[in-house]
Structure formats: structure tokens, C-alpha cells
């Protein structure tokens, strides 16, 4: 086993650090040297990688052993994050499954739900998606229209979701639906687990500007949900949804694999050297600014991840992380496009840095939208962190079914 101790490590942490290092050497490529098995797609690779992480006792690090996790501490998670930072972990298709669905299952699931669903989620045998947004309810997700109606020993689901990332390869989903239309909108929502293999669920991929199809429309036509797949209490779905949104914001804004960072400054410094631009004073200033912002992101993330690992649901600080991650992504986009120049628009058959940064550039706008837009994060920070007056809401006490909508 590697001897990879750090000052302050206990013998247990030292052994764990070595265990992580050995696993990464055997199973991963360093960032920038990625070589994916071309026979496999990204999802198959992610499932296989997750299974090997689980086999090494390194999956679901802070989740309870009895539900498939490793049962270790937040400090072990930090060690894993630190040691794995320079490595490419091919698990992006699991980001929502692990960053949002898993903590919600763990926090709000019954023991039966946790033992039925968490082990397979943790080891990548099942992948989960999150179904909140609808054509008429994005920022105002509490206004959603998808209905779940009780019919004997099951719920019957009808409606439409949109922008559901990964629904086309997911096995299960967490959906928020309206169960009580004649109370104010926040009070009549419930959260359910759904089986994406149900033939009453139709998934239609949406094509994006990058040419990829990362998200989908999802249609429910009399889809059936067993009554014991209700998460949390009936009509209490809004508080679970808020918790899940905060997990999402933390995952996007502060997660180590999030789109908003990935310690890209070092990659851009390498690129500047490679392109002979590292001595240019403006480039140096841009890179120094980026380095500072990325460090701040790291500190915010570490603080929030510690809280999550200690079993707390993140509060409005998740919005600070999310907004900061989105602003950082835009800075990365601008600096990288300056550096690669015309290669950001057209590149040779070997792809190279132009293709890589062009893809990042096209994805950057989405980071300001996914998980709640920048404007919505600023509202939350204004109201819940700074204590500014709340936005006026004339429909606060009006039953959802009486609120005018398109």
C-alpha cells in the first residue's frame, strides 16, 4: 500500500489515504490523460467504475454501512476528495443520483426504503434522476401541475416533466407531484420514488446546442406508484424538495465533480504554457484571478460538504455555493476562449483543446440555470441570508387550483 500520509493524519486516516491512492492508481487516469475504454459508453463506464469503488469500500463513504455505504466520517470524505482531486473519476452520469437522490433517500426515506434502494444506488447498479421542473413550473417549482391521485393501494401519476437530466438511462426517479390541489401551492405537494421502467412513463430526449442530449421530457400517463414509495409525509413534499434543491445547489456549486470548477486553473495554466502565452501580463492576471476564485469555491464547498456529511441539510448557503460556481464557470469560459482563440470555433480531427473548451463554453450558460437560476439564488441570498424584504406574493394564501396560470 502507498505511504501517503499528511501532517495531522491519524494512523486510520493514513491507511485510508494509502488505500484511496492505490485504488486511483489501479483504476483511473490523471486529469488531462483520460483514456476511456472506447467499447463502452459513458454510462456503462460509470456503472462499472462505481462497482469497483464499492468493491474497494470507497463508495458512499459517509453513508451507513447497513444501507450500503462505507460508514466512515466526513474527514474520510475530505481525504478521498483531496487524494482524488488530480484524477479523472469517470462517474459524471451518477452526479444527480449520488449528489441529490442519495442524500434525500438517506435523510427522508423509511428504513425499508433505505435498505431497498440505497445499496444499489451507492454501488451504481441503479441510477436515479430528479423530476421537478415542468413546462409551466421551473423557478416557481411549487406551482407544478403533475397530479398524483390515490387509488386503493397505489398512486396514479399524470403529467409532464421537462429538463430531466439523465432520464433516458435512469432506473428510478424522484418526482414531486401535486396531491392536494385545494390548498396553497406549497402545502399540497408530495415526493415519490418512481420506477422509470414503467411503460406508462415516456422519456423523450431533448437535443442541446452542444449536439448532446443530456436531458429529456418525461410524460406520465396513469403511471402507478406503490403507496410505500411515498417519501416523507403526505403533502409535506415541499420541505423535502427544498432540501433536495439545496443538495443540488451544493453538488453543482461545491461538489468536486461539478461543472463549475474541477480545479481547472492548473489545466489552463498548462494550456497557457503550451501556447506560449504564460508570460503575457493580462493572461497572468486572468489566471491569478481564476485561481483565487477557485480556492474560494473550494473553501465554501469544504464547509458545506462537512455539514452534509455530519447529517445536516444545507441551508441557504447552498445558494451561495451555487451562484459562486456559476460565476466561476463563466470566468473559466471567458479565460479559456481567450487562450484557445480561433481553435475554440474550429479544430482539427484530433479534437485537442479547442474542442474541449468549446464544449465547456457551450455548457457554461446551463450552469447558471440548472438547480435554480442565478436570479433565483440572488433572491434566496437576499431574503434568507441578508434578511431583505421578501418578494411580494399576492397568491400566498390562495388555493393552487384558484391561482391563475396559462
Ligand X SMILES: Cc1cc2nc3c(=O)[nH]c(=O)nc-3n(C[C@H](O)[C@H](O)[C@H](O)COP(=O)(O)OP(=O)(O)OC[C@H]3O[C@@H](n4cnc5c(N)ncnc54)[C@H](O)[C@@H]3O)c2cc1C
Annotation marks residue 248 as catalytic:
yes
Q: Considering beta carbons, is residue 84 or 130 the nearer one to ligand X?
A: 130
Catalytic residue (one of 42, 66, 202, 248): 248
Least distance to ligand X, CB of residue 45, Å: 20
Least distance to ligand X, CB of residue 174, Å: 10
Polymer length in residues for the chain: 406
Closest-CA residue to 306 (of 50, 298, 324, 327): 298
- Between CA 369 and CA 60 the distance in angstroms is 28
Least distance to ligand X, CB of residue 159, Å: 13
Among 16, 49, 108, 132, binds ligand X (CB under 6 A): 132
| Cβ 160 vs Cβ 151: under 8 Å | no
Query: How far does Cα 280 stand from its chain's mean position?
Result: 36
- Between CA 307 and CA 317 the distance in angstroms is 11
Least distance to ligand X, CB of residue 146, Å: 11
Q: Could you say whether residue 366 binds ligand X (CB under 6 A)? A: yes
Q: How far is CA 241 from CA 111, 368, 383, 399, in A?
A: 20, 19, 19, 19
Options 14-22, 116-124, 372-380, 382-390: segment touching ligand X (CB under 6 A): 372-380
Q: Could you say whether residue 57 binds ligand X (CB under 6 A)? A: no
User: With contacts defined by CB under 6 A, how many residues of the chain interact with ligand X?
Assistant: 21
Pick out residues in 192-231 that bind ligand X (CB under 6 A): 215
Q: Could you say whether residue 184 binds ligand X (CB under 6 A)? A: no
Options 119-127, 288-296, 367-375, 395-403: segment touching ligand X (CB under 6 A): 367-375
Among 97, 130, 190, 265, binds ligand X (CB under 6 A): 130
Q: Could you say whether residue 146 binds ligand X (CB under 6 A)? A: no
The total of other beta-carbon atoms located within 10 Å of residue 299's CB is 10
What is the number of the residue whose Cβ is closest to ligand X?
A: 138
Options 50-58, 160-168, 287-295, 333-341: segment touching ligand X (CB under 6 A): 160-168
Least distance to ligand X, CB of residue 224, Å: 21
- Between CA 276 and CA 341 the distance in angstroms is 13
Cell (9 digits) for 111: 428504513
Options 24-32, 81-89, 198-206, 374-382: segment touching ligand X (CB under 6 A): 374-382
Q: Could you say whether residue 160 binds ligand X (CB under 6 A)? A: no
Q: Could you say whether residue 373 binds ligand X (CB under 6 A)? A: yes
The torsion defined by the Cα of 283, 287, 289 and 292, in degrees rounded to 10, comes to: -170
Q: Could you say whether residue 131 binds ligand X (CB under 6 A)? A: yes
Residues that are catalytic: 248
| Residue ranges in contact with ligand X by CB under 6 A | 96, 129-133, 138-139, 163-165, 215, 366, 369-373, 375-376, 379
Amino acid at each position: 500500500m502507498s505511504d501517503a500520509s499528511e501532517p495531522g493524519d491519524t494512523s486510520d486516516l493514513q491507511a485510508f489515504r494509502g488505500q484511496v491512492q492505490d485504488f486511483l492508481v489501479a483504476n483511473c487516469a490523471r486529469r488531462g490523460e483520460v483514456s476511456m475504454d472506447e467499447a463502452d459508453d459513458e454510462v456503462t463506464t460509470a456503472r462499472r467504475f462505481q462497482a469497483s469503488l464499492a468493491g474497494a469500500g470507497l463508495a458512499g463513504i459517509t453513508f451507513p454501512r447497513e444501507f450500503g455505504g462505507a460508514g466512515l466520517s466526513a474527514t474520510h470524505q475530505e481525504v478521498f476528495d483531496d487524494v482524488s482531486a488530480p484524477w479523472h473519476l469517470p462517474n459524471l452520469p451518477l452526479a444527480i443520483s449520488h449528489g441529490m437522490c442519495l442524500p434525500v433517500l438517506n435523510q427522508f426515506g423509511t428504513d425499508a426504503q433505505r435498505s431497498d434502494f440505497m445499496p444499489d444506488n451507492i454501488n451504481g447498479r441503479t441510477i436515479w434522476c430528479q423530476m421537478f421542473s415542468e413546462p409551466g413550473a421551473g423557478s416557481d417549482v411549487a406551482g407544478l401541475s403533475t397530479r398524483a391521485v390515490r387509488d386503493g393501494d397505489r398512486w396514479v401519476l399524470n403529467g409532464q416533466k421537462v429538463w430531466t437530466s439523465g432520464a433516458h438511462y435512469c432506473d428510478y426517479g424522484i418526482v414531486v407531484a401535486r396531491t392536494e390541489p385545494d390548498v396553497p401551492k406549497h402545502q399540497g405537494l408530495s415526493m415519490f420514488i418512481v420506477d422509470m421502467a414503467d411503460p406508462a412513463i415516456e422519456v423523450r430526449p431533448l437535443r442541446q446546442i452542444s449536439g448532446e442530449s443530456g436531458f429529456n421530457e418525461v410524460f406520465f400517463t396513469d403511471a402507478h406508484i406503490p403507496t410505500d414509495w411515498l417519501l416523507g409525509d403526505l403533502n409535506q413534499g415541499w420541505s423535502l424538495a427544498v432540501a433536495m434543491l439545496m443538495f443540488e445547489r451544493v453538488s453543482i456549486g461545491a461538489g468536486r465533480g461539478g461543472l463549475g470548477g474541477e480545479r481547472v486553473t492548473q489545466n489552463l495554466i498548462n494550456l497557457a504554457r503550451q501556447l506560449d502565452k504564460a508570460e503575457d501580463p493580462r493572461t497572468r492576471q486572468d489566471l491569478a484571478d481564476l485561481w483565487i476564485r477557485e480556492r474560494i469555491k473550494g473553501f465554501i464547498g469544504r464547509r458545506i460538504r462537512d455539514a452534509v456529511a455530519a447529517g445536516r441539510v444545507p441551508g441557504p448557503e447552498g445558494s451561495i455555493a451555487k451562484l459562486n460556481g456559476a460565476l466561476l464557470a463563466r470566468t473559466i469560459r471567458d479565460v479559456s476562449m481567450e487562450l484557445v482563440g480561433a481553435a475554440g470555433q474550429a479544430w482539427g480531427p484530433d479534437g485537442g483543446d479547442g474542442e474541449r473548451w468549446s464544449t465547456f463554453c457551450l455548457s457554461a450558460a446551463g450552469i447558471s440555470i440548472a438547480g435554480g437560476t442565478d436570479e433565483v439564488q440572488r433572491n434566496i441570498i437576499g431574503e434568507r441570508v441578508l434578511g431583505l424584504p421578501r418578494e411580494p406574493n399576492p397568491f400566498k394564501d390562495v388555493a393552487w387550483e384558484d391561482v391563475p396560470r396559462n
